[in-house]
Amino acid sequence: MIAIIGLLVGVALGLFLKPDVPIGMEPYLPIAVVAALDAVFGALRAFLDGLFDDKVFVVSFVSNVFIAALIVFLGDKLGVGAQLSTGVIVVLGIRIFANVAAIRRHVFHA
């Protein structure tokens, strides 16, 4: 419940405050969001498995975001930023699909 309220509060804050993203951070924001989504779906799956642990979630969330941003940053430095960010998105997308499939099995038993 608190988690859902937190998500709604975040959306509301983003809508009302319209925060400005520093120019240097702009390429990393979409990657970070997708990585965070991956962490959230992983946590949801673990929760339904009865294995949810808030410490694990926090660590996975932060490290997911950080590593995704780091990979893209390195890619930018190596001159393959666009390709690497595409690769990161693809990998995270596959993981999100896998987690959502597990969640679906729990909820719908199918």
Partner 1 sequence: MSEPDAAATEPTAEPTAPAPSAYQLIRRALLHPGRGQVSAAVLLVILGIAGVTQVRLAGSDDEYAGMRQADLVQALNGLQAASRRNEQDIRDLQNTRDSLKDNNDKTAAALKQARDELVTLGILAGTSTATGPGVRITVTVAEDGQLTLNNLLDGIEELRDAGAEAMEINDAVRVVAQTSFETADNGINVDGRVLTAPFVIDAIGDPDSLATALNFPGGFVDDLRPDHAHVGIKKRQKIEVTVLRRAVEPRYAESP
Site for partner 1 in 41-70 (CB under 8 A): 41-43, 45-64, 67-68
Residue 110 Cβ vs partner 1, minimum distance, rounded to whole Å: 12
Site for partner 1 in 12-41 (CB under 8 A): 12-15, 17-19, 21, 26-27, 29-30, 32-33, 35-41
Q: Should residue 94 be labelled a site residue for partner 1 when binding is judged by CB under 8 A?
A: no
Identify the CA nearest to 89 among candidates 31, 29, 28: 31
Identity of the amino acid at 87: G
**Residues 45/103, Cβ–Cβ less than 8 Å:** yes
CA distances from 105 to 22, 40, 42, 101, 110 (A): 41, 17, 14, 6, 5
Residue 12 Cβ vs partner 1, minimum distance, rounded to whole Å: 8
Residue 90 Cβ vs partner 1, minimum distance, rounded to whole Å: 14
Residue 77 CB neighbours (<10 A): 9
Q: For residue 71, what are its two tokens?
A: 């990979």
Q: For residue 74, what are its two tokens?
A: 């390195």
Query: What does the binding site for partner 1 look like in residue numbers (CB under 8 A)?
Result: 1-15, 17-19, 21, 26-27, 29-30, 32-33, 35-43, 45-64, 67-68, 76, 79, 81-82, 95, 99, 102, 106-107
